[in-house]
Amino acid sequence: MSPFLVLGIGGTIAWAIVLYGVHRLYSAHFQRRAAAGAAFRRRVNKHVMRGGIWS
């Protein structure tokens, strides 16, 4: 095999691993953020439904 072909395939695999790792980090971060947002919305809705926000 040509050394350039080996380098190209190796570089592609390395980039795929890096991009997969970045994707995993971002998806975990946004999942936590979405869960926190849902909890906040539930708390706000509870107050709105009870009428506490208007009094």
Better pLDDT: 24 or 28: 24
Instruction: List all residues 6 or more positions away from 47 whose beta carbon is below 8 Å from its beta carbon.
Output: 53
Instruction: Enter the pTM of the model.
Output: 0.52
Write out pLDDT tens, residues 3-27: 889 899 999 999 999 999 999 888 8
Q: What span, in angstroms and rounded, lies between the C-alpha atoms of 1 and 27?
A: 38
Q: Which residue has the higher pLDDT, 34 or 51?
A: 34
Domain tally, the chain? 1
SS3 16: helix
State the residue for tokens 């909890």.
39
**Which residue range forms the structural domain that includes residue 7?**
1-55
How high is the pLDDT of residue 1? 74
Residue with tokens 């936590």: 32
pLDDT at 35 > cutoff 60: yes
pLDDT of residue 19: 94
CA–CA dist 12, 26 (Å, integer)? 21
